[in-house]
């Protein structure tokens, strides 16, 4: 138990251990860290007095990062590990795990108490089993839900950061951290040198990431062109000879918004195609739904107010397309797009959907999306649309064919061939750098 009167300086409330490779831009790890700190604050934890440790926040330019990491792992009260295939293959994630685990072993040897201060979180799922060094610690309980086991916490966060599935797991992790950090005080490992700590994951064949269902996303562009600027628009530099050349952000440089969208969609594990909005938009969206495909409309607010886009977009607004997202980019420094009349006119085009604009619980209609928000909002839109599609997808049947041959090695005899007229049944050198060589 915690000793009264013992100074608590340099004891991070928790240490967040994760693989950088899982989230290069730190969008989801950063959000989880902030949400966890906020939830701990709500539970009454003293995170302000003993700041949690996350390397991007606590390792300054020019600092000895190995020494800083060693000091944090050797003195923190709890460790939250975002487990994934990348985590298992990361040398320094393994070192952090081993160093903290050694502190738990020392505490147990002196007190005969197992402190639940090493808290694994299933960040991304794997196709195979996690190493026994991880699974010996409880990383799942029924209250976390099957979605967590099947998709991992990062996917739940990406799909809906305010949704019940993500918040349930977040709250349970926060309670575990709060319990361990407030009730126990582990022995410190002063002067810990992570370079001398072997990773328990070395030599283990890392589990592969679970296969993601590859879907197809049809992207439809509604944007102006230089040869015919939208009514009221003066700035030509945002447009090109084709709607696919539209660059809505300032300064208007390539890649185009269509290219940026395709890159985001491909990173989400989907294939994609580009089309320009025309009068057949409604039938194309229906076709995509029948083919188990999702769709995204990238809309230029200026061009949407008039033909040839206004009518098909307005028709879309009056129909039900549950797996189609709409994203309207806008840049704050584009003086022309600051005119509120522009957005009032756009509201008239999307009368029905306007009520759910930028709804955190329903992210499929996003307006005035800034340059820095584009990738994150589009990625979330794609994930939510794909999840909805999988819930309502129409199963496909293979065409009937000849009977499958018997499997080799089975002792059960194959059925006799069908008699004439019978119908066949269908077939069923240098030290590794933490953020470079190791990709931690």
244 shares its domain with 145: no
Residue 366 lies in a domain: yes
Q: What is the DSSP letter of 208?
A: P
Contacts for 193 with CB less than 8 Å, ≥ 6 apart: 66, 67, 70
Q: Which of 141, 161, 196 is the last residue of a domain?
A: 196
Predicted pLDDT of residue 412: 37
* Helix residue spans in 129-267 (DSSP H): 132-135, 146-151, 153-159, 164-183, 257-267
Decide: 325 and 385 in contact? Cβ < 8 Å: yes
User: Of 132, 165, 196, which marks where a domain is finished?
Assistant: 196
Rounded average pLDDT over 191-219: 75
Least confident of 45-54, 117-126, 291-300: 45-54
173 and 228 part of one domain: no
The domain total for the chain is 2
Any domain includes 157: yes
Nearest to 96 by CA among 85, 114, 80: 80
Are 133 and 263 found together in one domain? no
The pLDDT score that the predictor gives to residue 7 is: 42
Q: How far apart are CA 210 and CA 231, in angstroms?
A: 49
Q: Which domain CATH number covers 167? A: 3.40.50.10140
- Note whether 177 and 120 are within 8 A (CB): no
Using the predicted structure, report yes or no on whether residue 8 has a pLDDT greater than 70: no
Identify the band that residue 440 occupies on the pLDDT scale cut at 50, 70 and 90: low
Q: Does some domain include residue 211? A: no
pTM, 2 dp:
0.56
**pLDDT of 430 strictly over 70:** no
What average pLDDT is seen over the chain? 82
| Same structural domain, 176 and 232 | no
Q: For tokens 């944007």, name the residue.
A: 223
Specify if 120 maps to a domain: yes
Q: How far is CA 184 from the centre of its chain?
A: 33
Within-domain flag for 183: yes
User: Where does residue 274 rank: exposed (0-12), middle (13-18), buried (19+ CB within 10 A)?
Assistant: middle
Same domain, 232 and 358: yes
What was the pLDDT predicted at 3? 39
Q: 130 with 89, same domain?
A: yes
**pLDDT higher than threshold 50 for residue 395:** no
pLDDT digits (tens, 9 = 90+) for 68-121: 888 999 999 999 999 998 898 888 899 999 999 999 999 999 999 999 999 999
Q: How far, in Å, CA of 364 to CA of 380, rounded?
A: 9
Q: How far is CA 412 from CA 50, 407, 408, in A?
A: 67, 9, 10
Tell me: pLDDT of 312 over 60.
Answer: yes
For residue range 146-197, list pLDDT tens digits in order. Answer: 889 888 999 899 888 888 999 999 999 999 999 999 999 999 998 888 889 9
Whole-number Å distance between alpha carbons of 135 and 141: 13
- 187 and 251 fall within a common domain: no
Q: In this model, does residue 304 exceed pLDDT 50? A: yes
What pLDDT is recorded for position 209? 57
pLDDT tens string 12-67: 999 999 988 887 777 899 999 999 999 999 999 988 778 899 875 444 434 456 78
Reported as a pLDDT band with limits 50, 70 and 90, residue 249 is confident
Q: Is the pLDDT of residue 404 over 70?
A: no
Q: What is the mean pLDDT of residues 353-382?
A: 91
Q: Are 42 and 159 members of one domain? A: yes
Is a pLDDT exceeding 60 seen at residue 2?
Answer: no
CATH of the domain at 328: 3.40.50
User: Does residue 53 form part of some domain?
Assistant: yes
- Which residue matches tokens 């009937």? 400
Contact between 393 and 348 under an 8 Å Cβ cutoff? The reply is: no
In a domain, 257, yes or no: yes
Residue 394, pLDDT above cutoff 70:
no
Q: Which domain holds residue 317?
A: 216-392
Cα angle: 127, vertex 131, 135; to 5 degrees: 95
Task: Please give the share of the chain, as a percent, with pLDDT higher than 70.
Answer: 80
pLDDT at 136: 87
Coil, strand or helix at 368: strand
427, part of any domain: no
DSSP code per residue over 269-316: T-EEEEEE--TTHHHHHHHHHHTT-EEEEEE-TTGGGSTTTHHHHHHH
- Confidence band for 434, pLDDT divided at 50, 70 and 90: low
In this prediction, residues 378-391 reach a mean pLDDT of 87
Residue 300 has pLDDT above 80, yes or no: yes
Q: Which long-range contacts (CB under 8 A, 24 or more apart) does 282-291 make?
A: 282/312, 282/315, 282/316, 282/319, 284/218, 284/220, 285/316, 285/319, 285/321, 285/324, 288/218, 288/323, 288/324, 289/321, 289/323, 290/394, 291/216
Quote the percentage of the chain above a pLDDT of 90. 44
146/240 same-domain check: no
> Which candidate, 304, 285, 280, places its Cα nearest to that of 295?
285
Q: Are residues 110 and 239 in the same domain?
A: no
Which of 374, 392, 410 is the last residue before a domain boundary?
A: 392
Domain check: are 259 and 140 in the same one?
no
CB 88 within 8 A of CB 125: no
At residue 224, the pLDDT reads 92
DSSP annotation string for 383-406 = HHHHHHHHHHPPPP-PPP-SPPPP
- Beta strand 294-299 with 365-369 is unpaired
Query: In this structure, are 119 and 242 located in the same domain?
Result: no
Is 5 a residue whose pLDDT tops 50?
no
């Amino acid at each position: 138990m915690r000793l009264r009167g013992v100074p608590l300086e340099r004891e991070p409330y928790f240490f967040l251990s994760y693989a950088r490779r899982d989230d290069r831009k730190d969008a989801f790890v950063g959000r989880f860290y902030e949400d966890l700190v906020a939830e701990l604050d709500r539970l009454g934890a003293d995170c302000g007095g003993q700041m949690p440790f996350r390397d991007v926040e606590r390792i300054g330019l020019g600092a000895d990062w190995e020494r800083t990491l060693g000091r944090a792992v050797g003195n923190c009260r709890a460790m939250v590990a975002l487990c994934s295939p990348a985590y298992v293959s990361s040398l320094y994630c393994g070192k952090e795990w081993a160093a903290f685990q050694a502190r738990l072993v020392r505490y147990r040897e002196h007190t005969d108490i197992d402190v639940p201060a090493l808290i694994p979180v299933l960040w991304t799922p794997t196709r195979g089993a996690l190493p026994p060094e991880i699974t010996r610690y409880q990383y799942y309980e029924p209250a976390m839900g099957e979605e967590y086991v099947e998709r991992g916490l990062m996917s739940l966060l990406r799909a809906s950061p305010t949704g019940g599935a993500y918040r349930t797991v977040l709250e349970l992790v926060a309670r575990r951290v709060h319990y361990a950090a407030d009730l126990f005080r582990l022995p410190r490992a002063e002067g810990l040198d992570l370079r001398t700590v072997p990773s328990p994951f070395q030599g283990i064949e890392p589990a592969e990431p679970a296969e993601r269902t590859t879907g197809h996303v049809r992207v439809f562009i509604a944007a102006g062109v230089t040869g015919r600027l939208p009514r009221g628009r003066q700035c030509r530099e945002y447009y090109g000879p084709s709607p696919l050349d539209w660059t809505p952000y300032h300064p208007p440089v390539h890649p185009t918004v269509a290219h940026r969208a395709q890159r985001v969609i491909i990173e989400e594990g989907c294939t994609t195609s580009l089309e320009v909005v025309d009068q057949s938009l409604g039938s194309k969206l229906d076709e995509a739904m029948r083919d188990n495909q999702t769709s995204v409309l990238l809309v230029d607010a200026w061009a949407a107010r008039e033909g040839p886009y206004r009518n098909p977009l307005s028709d879309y607004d009056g129909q039900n397309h549950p797996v189609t997202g709409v994203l309207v980019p806008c840049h704050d420094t584009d003086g022309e797009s600051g005119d509120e009349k522009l957005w009032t006119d756009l509201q008239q085009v999307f009368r029905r959907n306007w009520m759910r604009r930028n709804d955190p619980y329903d992210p499929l209609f996003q307006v005035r999306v800034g340059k820095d928000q584009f990738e994150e909002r589009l990625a979330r839109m794609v994930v939510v649309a794909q999840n909805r599609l999988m819930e309502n997808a129409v199963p496909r049947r293979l065409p009937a064919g000849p009977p499958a041959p018997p499997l080799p090695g089975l002792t059960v005899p194959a059925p006799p061939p069908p008699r004439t007229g019978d119908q066949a049944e269908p077939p069923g050198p240098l030290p590794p750098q933490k953020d470079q060589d190791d990709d931690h």
